[in-house]
Chain A
Amino acid sequence: MSSKNEENNIFNFQWHITERCNLRCTHCYQENYSSLNEMSFEKLRSIADKLIQALSKWNRKGKIAITGGEPFVKRELFPLLEYLNKSPQIANLYILTNGTLIDEKICKEIRRITKVSRVQISLDGACPQTHDAIRGRGTFKKAMEGIKLLTNHGIKVNLMFTLQKCNKEDIPALFDLAIQNRINSLLVERFVPCGCGKEIESEMLSSFELQNAFQYISDRADLEYDKGNKLMVVKQRPLWINVDAERAKVNAKIPIHKQVGGICSIGLDNLTILHDGTVLPCRRLNIPIGNLECDTLFRIWYTSEVLWKIRNKRNLKGKCNSCEFIPVCSGCRAMAYACTRDYLGEDPQCWK
């Protein structure tokens, strides 16, 4: 658990400060949207102190992604960001949002929080037809307006695209949209059928479809990079190594824009906190491992059986167990759990 270089010296938290949301997306990993057990600012601050204490003890810097639900529906969002912004242990803050509530006032507020280095907007299609079918009527237009406002205020925008059968054909146009709108980075995440998303499990891509999608994204990202476009396409995730093992992240000679592959970060440098203090190994691996209202973060991190089982890669099953790419992949544990109820099982979408 000690760290050797700057990258290893980062710990990532994804903090869902509310379950409330103005949208009801078909693939949502939530099951509820109530304000029940939502925390006051005092309680949020107490959780923040626990995170800062842990970072300080571990001599690590924190990157905290604040999200929901929809984070902009919670009035404590900016007071919390301001509080976190003051801590020397916090390196960066991010806001993950559906983008539909962003206005001039919000942009100005974001600009005041110096460590907010990026706002992530979920965009599940490159046109209203695709996006709105998933996220609701009129949401594409609103999200795009949000993106324009942010970029006009000089705030870096990351696009998050949840890849499903119904939107996979939009990927080429998504690249065009990202470049035209001066998007900083693009993250394509696989749809994991959990929460409300269980109802649309058939939207999961087959291994073959996923391979084709990843290959296109990788090739297109290379093309744009070679053309001098600044769009950063995030490929440091499980299964990406299958695209081209020669371009593994561990190969320092490869520019970061062309690197592929990343190990599942569960148990290594990542935790998810829910609106009521519940801690999950990952937002899509819905197995509570403690609650920061009553537990110390240290107790959760050091004693969780789930985390220890996942840390020990010899526990992985199926083709993940004997795979040469374990150090740069290890499969998506949340996907294994969603499809088989065994978080140590093989990644069901792997095409290797």
Chain B
Amino acid sequence: MLEIEETKVWRIPKKFVLHKLDEEMYWVFDVKEGDYLELNSTCYFILSCFDGETPLFKIREQVISEYPEADPQEVCNDLEELVNKMVKEGVLESV
């Protein structure tokens, strides 16, 4: 697991593109190499928050606000897990 700093800012590299089809199917596409990941709606929402300007702690607040019924601690854990996975896949890079 990566040590994730709260104030760190992440972005999706230009070679990746997020796409959703009719609020039913979600992907992140690598338009250079052709790989892609299928996402669920939550992952899609979270990844779309990584705009290269908003720090991680702000994104966490956005996610908690978007899913008020979820346990905030669980949201934190899931967010950390997702960031770790996406960093490993190269879908997120630090600014």
On A, residues with C-beta under 8 Å from B are 1, 53-54, 57-58, 296-299, 302-303, 308, 311-312, 314
For residue B67, CB closer than 8 A to chain A, the reply is no
- Bound Cα distance from A1 to B29, whole angstroms: 12
Interface pair A298/B19, CB less than 8 Å apart: no
- Evaluate contact between B19 and A302: CB separation under 8 angstroms: yes
Tally of A-B Cβ pairs under 8 angstroms: 36
**Nearest neighbor of A54 in chain B, beta-carbon distance:** B34
Given contact pairs A296-B31, A299-B32, A302-B31, a sample of 6 additional A-B residue pairs in the complex whose CB atoms are under 8 Å apart: A1-B36, A296-B34, A298-B33, A302-B17, A302-B27, A302-B29
Most interface-central of B29, B34, B35, B36 (chain A CB within 10 A): B34
Q: Let me know if A303 and B21 touch, CB within 8 A.
A: no
Interface range for B? 10 to 19
Is B21 a contact of A302 with CB atoms below 8 Å? Answer: no
Interface check B5, CB cutoff 8 A? no
Chain B, range 47-92, C-beta contacts under 8 Å to A:
none
Min C-beta distance of B89 to chain A, whole Å: 16
Bound: A303/B15 CA distance, A: 11
With contact pairs A298-B31, A302-B31, A303-B31 given, residues A308 and B21 touching in the complex (Cβ less than 8 Å): yes
B34 and A298 within 8 A (CB):
yes
Q: Find out whether the CB atom of A298 lies under 8 angstroms from the CB atom of B21.
A: no
- Assembly CA distance A54 to B33 (angstroms): 9
- Whether A57 contacts B21 by the Cβ 8 Å rule is no
Q: With A and B bound together, what is the CA distance between A308 and B27 in angstroms? A: 13
User: What's the Cα separation between A1 and B19 when bound, in Å?
Assistant: 13
Nearest to A55 among chain B residues (CB) is B34
Q: Out of A296, A308, A314, which one reaches B19, CB within 8 Å?
A: A308
Query: Which B residues are in CB contact (< 8 Å) with A53?
Result: 34
Most buried by B among A297, A302, A308, A312: A302
Query: How near does chain A come to B86, taking the closest CB pair, in angstroms?
Result: 18
Residues of B within 8 A of A299 (CB): 17, 31-32
